């Protein structure tokens, strides 16, 4: 047989042998998968605190990827099919940017990577515990809470809760609706829907805040009324606020590579930096398979250096969030004082899969000492498919901060240009509200929302109990659904208790809610009242609250339509309610078949 023929046979034999051995090699190297309560499936990696890159990360960095984003790890499973994302309008050019990036659609592409099996949500009536369960919907993790039920005022006249200025739930639900699906019930928190919008409450002439009270008959059920408690924090101009030290903690793991995650987060950081003062400083820490100190504290005026550090961020590897938090807080606490605002800002999809601290409780335990020294926290969520809403909300709650979710370039501008930089300075901490209803005037009541901000009535004056914070210019709105009785003039007494930003003892104010504050009809109520009620009722319907089962989105939409006052965000809400109507109708039609 000719030698050339023997050579070809030898090559074919070697190839056949390699192919036959491939399955066993792959199975031997495949990482074991553990299905946890949050249904995450991730490969284990060694944590490296010294910033050194693993060989596989170097290899990934060398692979081509669109728009400078490193491709995900080969061990990352492909995503399940997602509904198409809505297109976003092109961003306008940023004058101060050192580069002119190509036009990007930050909503294209969905989350890839760390996903687990979907868990069924438990029946909302099956548990007496307020926090029903942590469930996974389409790879995203939410914690559902039992909606507040009616309380007989003769048995318990007190309702006590901590203020909440988070807005993540609304923008997250908006993304679901814009992509053609109803948000999971566990993703809907009424208070975050209501507090997403601004209301025209007059600011205080003196002190930290003012209280605005109003009521009107219910448009949903005869014999019931709604009472609104509105709190407005004092406004501090950008030039008057304290110097700020911001530590951006950026998730650069493999799951952050899609356009609506790390690329959008990078542009958002630049927006924030552009709106800081000359005395502010910025530091950047990243976490993935390792934790890296990317930018030492740098004056906000040195935009070129900061932008260069931001532009160099790339995604790849696991997610050691706990280790990253520890490093970011170590940076922040160095400048924490009564004269400086020191805040950690986490930009992530919320997934944490490697390292010593994976749960919210374990992460918070590791940074608790820094929180006590005055460092505050903002969590900014990005992306879908493996979003940990439950973790982000808990971290913001326990970190004395707030939670946002960025679903678009427009939301990034709102959060990073206005909300984040404009309300950095805390004007009151551990803010609690207690409403004492008069049983001679109110038969039953229920607080619409704030289930996860409940405070025991006995702890209202216990200043050791943690509560919510109010930043400069924040307003907070809460709505009660009530059944009136009798003719007593006083319906309730509203009390607010809060500490100064650096104080340890709280002061208390009280306000009488009189019957003459009730409007004769909902149509004669203020536009702010009507719009807040439209938003709260929509949220209550979307989360399938038992108390709202006979309510109609048509009524909510009509309320909102008459209270938009030309505001773009309110007009957008009306469109979202219309979209929710269509989706609920289609869902009911499918069930009826």
DSSP codes of every residue in 177-214 = HHTTSPPPGGG--HHHHHTTS---PPPPSSSSEEEEEE
pLDDT tens, residue by residue, 138-191: 788 899 999 999 999 999 999 999 998 999 999 999 999 999 999 999 999 999
Higher pLDDT, 242 or 102: 242
Model pLDDT, residue 179: 94
Model pLDDT, residue 101: 36
Higher pLDDT, 400 or 352: 400
CA atoms within 13 A on the CB side of 322: 17
293 and 327 in contact (C-beta within 8 Å)?
yes
Does residue 420 carry a pLDDT above 90?
no
From the list 464, 570, 583, the residue with the least C-alpha distance to 182 is 583
Query: What is the DSSP-derived secondary structure letter of residue 417?
Result: I
Model pLDDT, residue 348: 93
Residues 6+ apart with CB under 8 A from 487: 441
Model pLDDT, residue 17: 40
Tokens matching residue 593? 């078949």
pLDDT tens, residue by residue, 224-239: 999 999 999 999 887 7
> For 471, left (φ over 0), alpha (ψ -120 to 50), or beta?
beta
Mean pLDDT for the stretch of residues 399-424: 89
Helix (H/G/I), strand (E/B), else coil: 32? coil
Identify the H or E element spanning 217.
strand 209-217
pLDDT tens, residue by residue, 402-414: 999 999 999 999 9
Residues 6+ apart with CB under 8 A from 407: 107, 171, 172, 174, 175, 178, 260
Helix (H/G/I), strand (E/B), else coil: 430? strand
Does residue 110 carry a pLDDT above 90?
no
| d(C-alpha 268, C-alpha 438), whole Å | 48
Tokens matching residue 292? 């890296």
484 and 216 in contact (C-beta within 8 Å)?
no
Q: Which of 56-65, 261-270, 289-298, 469-478 has the highest mean pLDDT?
A: 261-270
How far is Cα of residue 447 from the mean position of the Cα atoms in its chain? 22
Helices 527-542 + 568-592 axis angle, to 10:
30
From the list 413, 368, 473, the residue with the least C-alpha distance to 171 is 413
What angle (nearest 5°) sits at the alpha carbon of residue 537, between those of residues 536 and 542? 100
DSSP codes of every residue in 449-486 = S-GGGB--GGGTT-TTS--EEEETT-EEEEEEEEEE-S
CA atoms within 13 A on the CB side of 381: 33
Mean pLDDT for the stretch of residues 513-534: 97
Mean pLDDT for the stretch of residues 511-534: 97
Model pLDDT, residue 564: 97
Mean pLDDT for the stretch of residues 534-546: 98
Q: Which of 365-374, 422-431, 553-562 bottoms out in mean pLDDT, i.e. has the lowest?
A: 365-374
Higher pLDDT, 151 or 320: 151
Does residue 50 carry a pLDDT above 80?
no
pLDDT tens, residue by residue, 331-369: 898 888 878 889 999 999 877 655 565 566 777 787 778
DSSP E strands in 234-374: the ranges are: 244-251, 281-287, 291-299, 341-348
- pLDDT band for position 87 (50/70/90)? very low
Q: What is the mean pLDDT of the chain?
A: 79
Q: Dmax of the chain from CA atoms?
A: 112
CB burial of residue 18 (10 Å; 0-12, 13-18, 19+): exposed
Mean pLDDT for the stretch of residues 186-199: 97
Q: How far is CA 520 from CA 215, 484, 490, 517, 523, in A?
A: 9, 13, 16, 10, 8
- pLDDT band for position 591 (50/70/90)? low
228 and 479 in contact (C-beta within 8 Å)?
yes
- pLDDT band for position 88 (50/70/90)? very low
- pLDDT band for position 45 (50/70/90)? very low
From the list 227, 195, 281, 92, the residue with the least C-alpha distance to 471 is 195
Model pLDDT, residue 586: 72
Q: How many residues in the chain?
A: 593
Radius of gyration of the chain (CA): 26
Residue 248 forms beta bridges with which residues? 284, 345
């Amino acid at each position: 047989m000719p030698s050339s023929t023997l050579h070809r046979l030898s090559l074919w034999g070697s190839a056949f042998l390699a192919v036959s051995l491939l399955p066993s090699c792959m199975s031997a190297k495949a990482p074991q998968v553990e299905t946890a309560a949050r249904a995450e499936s991730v490969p284990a990696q060694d944590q490296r605190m010294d910033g050194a890159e693993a060989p596989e990360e170097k290899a990934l960095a060398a692979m081509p990827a669109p728009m400078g984003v490193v491709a995900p790890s080969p061990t990352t499973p492909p995503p399940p099919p997602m509904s198409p994302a809505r297109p976003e309008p092109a961003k306008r050019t940023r004058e101060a940017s050192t580069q002119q990036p190509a036009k990007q659609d930050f909503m294209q592409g969905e989350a890839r990577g760390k996903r687990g099996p979907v868990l069924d949500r438990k029946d909302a009536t099956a548990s007496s515990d307020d926090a029903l369960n942590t469930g996974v919907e389409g790879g995203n993790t939410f914690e559902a809470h039992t909606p507040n039920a009616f309380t007989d005022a003769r048995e318990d006249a007190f309702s006590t809760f901590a203020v909440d200025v988070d807005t993540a739930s609304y923008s997250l639900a908006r993304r679901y609706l814009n992509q053609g699906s109803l948000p999971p019930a566990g993703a809907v928190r009424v208070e975050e829907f209501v507090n997403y919008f601004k209301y025209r409450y007059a600011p205080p002439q003196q002190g930290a805040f003012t209280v605005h009270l109003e009521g009107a008959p219910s448009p949903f059920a005869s014999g019931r009324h709604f009472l609104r408690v509105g709190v407005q924090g004092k406004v501090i101009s950008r030039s008057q606020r304290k110097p700020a030290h911001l530590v951006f903690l950026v998730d650069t793991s493999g799951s952050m590579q899609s356009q609506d995650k790390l690329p959008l987060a990078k542009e958002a950081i630049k927006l924030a930096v552009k709106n800081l003062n000359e005395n502010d400083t910025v530091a950047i820490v990243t976490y993935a398979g390792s934790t890296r100190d990317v930018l030492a504290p740098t004056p906000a005026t040195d935009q070129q250096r900061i932008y260069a550090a931001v532009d160099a961020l790339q995604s790849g590897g696991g997610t050691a969030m706990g280790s990253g938090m520890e490093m970011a807080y170590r940076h922040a606490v160095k400048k924490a004082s009564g004269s400086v605002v020191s805040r950690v800002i986490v930009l992530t999809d919320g997934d944490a899969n490697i390292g010593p601290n994976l749960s919210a409780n374990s992460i918070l335990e590791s940074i608790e000492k820094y929180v006590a020294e005055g460092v505050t926290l903002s969590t900014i969520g990005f992306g879908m498919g493996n979003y940990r809403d439950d973790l982000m909300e808990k971290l913001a709650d326990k970190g004395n901060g707030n939670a946002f979710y960025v679903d678009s370039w427009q939301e990034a501008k709102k959060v990073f240009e206005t909300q984040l930089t404009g309300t950095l300075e805390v004007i009151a901490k551990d803010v609690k509200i207690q409403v004492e209803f008069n049983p001679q005037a109110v038969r039953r009541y229920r607080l619409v929302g704030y289930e996860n901000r409940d405070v025991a009535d006995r702890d209202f004056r216990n200043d050791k109990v943690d509560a919510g914070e109010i930043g400069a210019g924040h307003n907070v709105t809460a709505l009660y659904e009530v059944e009136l009785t009798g003719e007593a003039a006083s319906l309730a007494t509203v009390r607010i208790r809060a500490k100064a930003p650096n104080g340890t003892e709280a002061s208390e104010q009280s306000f009488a809610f009189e019957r003459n504050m009730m409007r004769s009809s909902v149509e004669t109520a203020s536009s702010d009242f009507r719009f807040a009620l439209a938003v709260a009722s929509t949220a209550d319907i979307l989360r399938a609250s038992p108390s709202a089962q006979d309510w109609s989105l048509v009524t909510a939409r009509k309320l909102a339509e008459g209270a938009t006052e030309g505001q773009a965000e309110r007009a957008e809400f009306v469109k979202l309610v219309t979209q929710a109507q269509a989706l609920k109708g289609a869902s009911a039609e499918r069930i009826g078949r």
